Amino acid sequence: MAEKKKPLKFEEALKRLETLVEEMESGRMSLEQTLSAFEECRELGKFCRDTLNEVQKRIEVLMKTENGIEPVPFEKK
């Protein structure tokens, strides 16, 4: 079995996840390939989730004020 490396960047992991999902949805993969891709998707999903949770914690620390954390609405461009 090939060695699986943890992606170095969130963006790379997300792009790989998107690619795997597209490949699985295409229906051109064998059952074994699909299972392997699904396992990789689970790992990538966990990595992305963990990364986003860590970023959220870091943002909360940066936003702390004497009154606690004050939510700031996200403005879409």
- For residue range 57-72, what is the model confidence (pLDDT) as tens digits? 888 777 776 677 666 6
CA–CA separation, 53 vs 34, rounded Å?
Answer: 28
Spell out where 1-77 has E strands.
64-65, 68-69
Tell me the pTM.
0.71
% pLDDT > 90, the chain: 60
